[in-house]
């Protein structure tokens, strides 16, 4: 189809495009390489099938915004298929009388899919542009109080318009070329839509139809060569970076597991992240993978309650900064600004509850929470920037090995009058119960611990506690950024637990569960750890625990972030509540997409940042929305936060731990 002159122009343009793309790609590789660590390439074979399904089926996007996800899928599927379409069109343009894939069943199926996907892609892209520019979808904006790169507010819209118009013109040009070709050579039943459009040109002369085919070809293919170098600087490079993100991100037992810092290595001068290049390589890759869809922002409890933190803004700021300082970063020079100057404010860093909702919902596998935790580490360890209330909690953990600053000699006071053996008294216990600081200290949480004793005794479980040997796991220290303090607590606990050698560890606190099960292996402690809701479910299934039906109260279950989202325990709490016939109602955010109570990320120990409401108050409002009389929890931190919020917001709403509800319904005789 192409003339000799056109072929020469095409080849020259293609070579120029390849050179520009190679230059930009090399810069990207160098920038990502500025981060510490290196990918584990051996992960690729294990993940290839899963990532392939995610990439083609777009499974991470369907959890929210169903209509927008469908429109996005229409565009993406067309774009994916066009990898073949563009190759076929170029071959047909260069080889006279050539039909890509031939006049075969495969060729016919290819032409039918190309025809249909072209039109659905155009329709999807047009609808998405209307959504952004005409209807101005609220979820695509970020409030003015949140730090956002000065070029981002206009830049995101500009990029979206440029890419949207490119896709419309690219797909439209190809459809135009196909329709002119069919008008010239005759309709094709395997291209019904293009054949219908060909009727528009039926009265044109063959010469005019041929010109139309050439115009459509260059509009489609020429635009790719002109656009592709820009593409690598726009947010839409996520099309290629997302599969890499899923393929190469480090494997972790839980998404909330943080990386251990090596305080014994004298060559390490920076702990945590103060500048972009202090991040790990995959944290820099996150900026390229980010689609700027703001789903993480929607899920963030801090942003939802009017605070300045937006995990989306953090990733967007990283990307715009990289675009500005790419040459400097690629050359190995230090970035000109700190993360706190361009990426996120100190107030926003301190507002994070480390709940992991942003990481969980991200459709491209990004992990903004990890960035914030690393920035906190730098603030606390390198600059000694921590709220005074955190300093008090740190001193408590240092001096009394618990953030409440309770003397270890008082750690067993909660068990007075109960038969609670220590490991010295019952060294062969089937279960070591890690009671935790809250049930040992807080009056309300102590009721949960006492109810747990009832359950264990009713089921005939041989258990023991550490007593005065038990100390804080260090979860709050780690998530506050004080990794050095966490290192000391974790090392001491692992040494003690390895000496005890428990068969199994029971916790009533999801933060203890997470730390013992997922964080302590970094320190040489590998234990089987079970949450009390999981264990109670086991006891019921084994017939060791008999319960009766209770009053049919409207009960909403609050899934603790570090139980449901971080450790996947969502079914068992519901099983045991259903066993006593409560009328279980689900809040709008539940399961792995539960809303935070506001205590995580060491927020328990300081005042909440300014916003339109408290995180705990918003959760109480969600419980009220579904008419709950009782709010069931499975975490002592959640108990404290939600009890206080209920007193202020909903005095008639009863907040109880799941174990208390079950303990009330025990049969007196097994």
SS3 percent helix, strand, coil of the chain, rounded to 5, is 60, 5, 35
Q: Which of 114-128, 224-238, 368-382, 507-521 has the lowest mean pLDDT?
A: 224-238
Give the pLDDT score at 670: 42
Give the pLDDT score at 91: 95
For residue 632, what are the β-bridge partners? 557, 656
Give the pLDDT score at 299: 97
The structure tokens 């600053």 sit at 405
Q: pTM of the predicted model, to two decimals? A: 0.94
In the predicted model, what is the mean pLDDT of residues 559-586? Answer: 96
pLDDT at 175 over 70: yes
Give the pLDDT score at 668: 66
* Residue 652 region by backbone torsions, left for phi larger than 0, else alpha for psi between -120 and 50, else beta: alpha
Give the pLDDT score at 550: 83
Query: What's the CA gap between 296 and 4, in Å, rounded?
Result: 51
pLDDT at 311 over 80: yes
Give the pLDDT score at 1: 80
Query: What's the CA gap between 360 and 566, in Å, rounded?
Result: 9
pLDDT at 637 over 50: yes
pLDDT at 669 over 80: no
According to CATH, the topology of domain 396-539 is Rossmann fold (3.40.50)
Residue 34 to residues 283, 483, 621, Cα–Cα distance (Å) = 11, 23, 45
Residue 214, helix vs strand vs coil: helix
pLDDT at 231 over 90: no
In the predicted model, what is the mean pLDDT of residues 152-159? Answer: 92
The pLDDT tens digits for 474-499 are 999 999 999 999 999 999 999 999 99
Query: What's the CA gap between 151 and 128, in Å, rounded?
Result: 22
pLDDT averaged over the chain?
Answer: 95
The pLDDT tens digits for 68-124 are 999 999 999 999 999 999 999 999 999 998 999 999 999 999 999 999 999 999 999
Residue 308 to residues 348, 372, 614, Cα–Cα distance (Å) = 5, 13, 13
Query: What's the CA gap between 348 and 339, in Å, rounded?
Result: 12
DSSP 8-state code for residue 142 = -
Yes or no: domain 547-664 corresponds to CATH 3.40.50.1860:
yes
The pLDDT tens digits for 16-32 are 999 999 999 999 999 99
In the predicted model, what is the mean pLDDT of residues 538-565? Answer: 94
pLDDT at 242 over 60: yes
Q: How confident is the model at residue 235 (pLDDT cuts 50, 70, 90)?
A: confident
pLDDT at 170 over 60: yes
Q: What percent of the chain has pLDDT over 90?
A: 95
Architecture of domain 276-382: Orthogonal Bundle (1.10)
């Amino acid at each position: 189809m192409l003339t000799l002159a056109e072929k020469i122009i095409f080849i020259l343009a293609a070579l120029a495009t390849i050179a520009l793309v190679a230059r930009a790609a090399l810069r990207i590789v160098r920038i990502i390489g500025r981060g510490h660590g290196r990918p584990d390439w051996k992960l690729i074979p294990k993940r290839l099938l899963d990532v392939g399904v995610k990439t083609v089926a777009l499974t991470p996007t369907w959890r929210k915004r169903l209509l927008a996800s469908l429109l996005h899928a229409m565009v993406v599927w067309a774009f994916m298929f066009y990898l073949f379409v563009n190759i076929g069109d170029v071959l047909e343009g260069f080889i006279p009388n050539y039909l890509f894939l031939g006049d075969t069943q495969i060729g016919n199926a290819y032409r039918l899919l190309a025809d249909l996907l072209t039109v659905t892609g155009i329709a999807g892209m047009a609808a998405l542009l209307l959504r952004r520019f005409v209807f101005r979808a609220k979820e695509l904006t970020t409030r003015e109080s949140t730090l956002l790169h000065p070029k981002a507010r206009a830049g995101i819209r500009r990029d979206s318009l440029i890419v949207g118009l490119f896709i419309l013109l690219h797909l439209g040009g190809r459809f135009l070329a196909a329709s002119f070709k069919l008008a010239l050579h005759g309709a094709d039943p395997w291209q019904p839509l293009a054949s219908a459009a060909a009727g528009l040109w039926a009265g044109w002369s063959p010469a005019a139809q041929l010109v139309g085919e050439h115009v459509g070809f260059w509009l489609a293919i020429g635009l790719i060569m002109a656009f592709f170098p820009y593409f690598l600087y726009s947010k839409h490079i996520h099309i290629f970076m997302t599969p890499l993100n899923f393929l190469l991100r480090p494997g972790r037992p839980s998404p909330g597991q943080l990386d251990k810092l090596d305080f014994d290595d004298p060559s390490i001068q920076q702990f945590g992240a103060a500048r972009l290049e202090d991040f790990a390589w995959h944290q820099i890759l996150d900026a390229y993978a980010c689609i700027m869809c703001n789903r993480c922002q929607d899920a963030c409890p801090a942003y939802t309650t009017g605070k300045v933190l937006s995990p989306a803004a953090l990733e967007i700021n990283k990307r715009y900064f990289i675009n500005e300082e790419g040459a400097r970063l690629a050359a190995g020079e230090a970035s000109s600004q700190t993360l706190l100057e361009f990426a996120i404010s100190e107030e926003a860093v301190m507002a994070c509850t480390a709940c992991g909702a942003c990481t969980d919902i991200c459709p491209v596998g990004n992990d903004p929470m990890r960035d914030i935790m690393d920035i906190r580490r730098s603030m606390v360890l390198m600059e000694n920037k921590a709220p005074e209330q955190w300093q008090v909690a740190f001193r408590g953990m240092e001096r009394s090995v618990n953030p409440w600053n309770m003397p270890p000699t008082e750690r067993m006071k909660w068990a007075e009058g109960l038969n609670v053996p220590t490991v010295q008294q019952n060294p062969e216990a089937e279960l070591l119960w890690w009671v935790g600081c809250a049930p040992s200290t807080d009056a309300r949480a102590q009721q949960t611990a006492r109810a747990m004793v009832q359950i264990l005794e009713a089921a005939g479980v041989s258990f023991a506690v550490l007593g005065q040997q038990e100390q804080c796991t260090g979860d709050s220290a780690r998530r506050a950024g004080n990794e050095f303090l966490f290192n000391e607590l974790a090392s001491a606990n692992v040494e003690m637990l390895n000496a005890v050698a428990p068969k199994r560890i029971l916790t009533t606190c999801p933060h203890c569960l997470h730390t013992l099960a997922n964080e302590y292996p970094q320190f040489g402690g590998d234990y089987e750890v079970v949450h009390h809701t999981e264990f109670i479910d086991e006891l019921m299934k084994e017939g060791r625990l008999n319960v009766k039906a209770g009053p049919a109260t409207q009960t909403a279950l609050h899934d603790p972030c570090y139980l449901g989202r971080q450790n996947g325990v969502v079914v068992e709490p519901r099983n045991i509540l259903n066993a006593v016939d409560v009328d279980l109602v689900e809040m709008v955010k539940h399961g792995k997409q539960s809303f935070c109570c506001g205590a995580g990320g060491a927020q328990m120990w300081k005042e909440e940042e300014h916003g339109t409401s408290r995180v705990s108050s918003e959760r109480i409002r969600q419980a009220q929305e579904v008419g709950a009389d009782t709010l069931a929890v499975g975490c002592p931190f959640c108990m404290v936060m939600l009890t206080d919020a209920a007193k202020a917001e909903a005095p008639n709403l009863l907040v109880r731990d799941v174990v208390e509800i079950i303990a009330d319904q025990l049969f007196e005789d097994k």
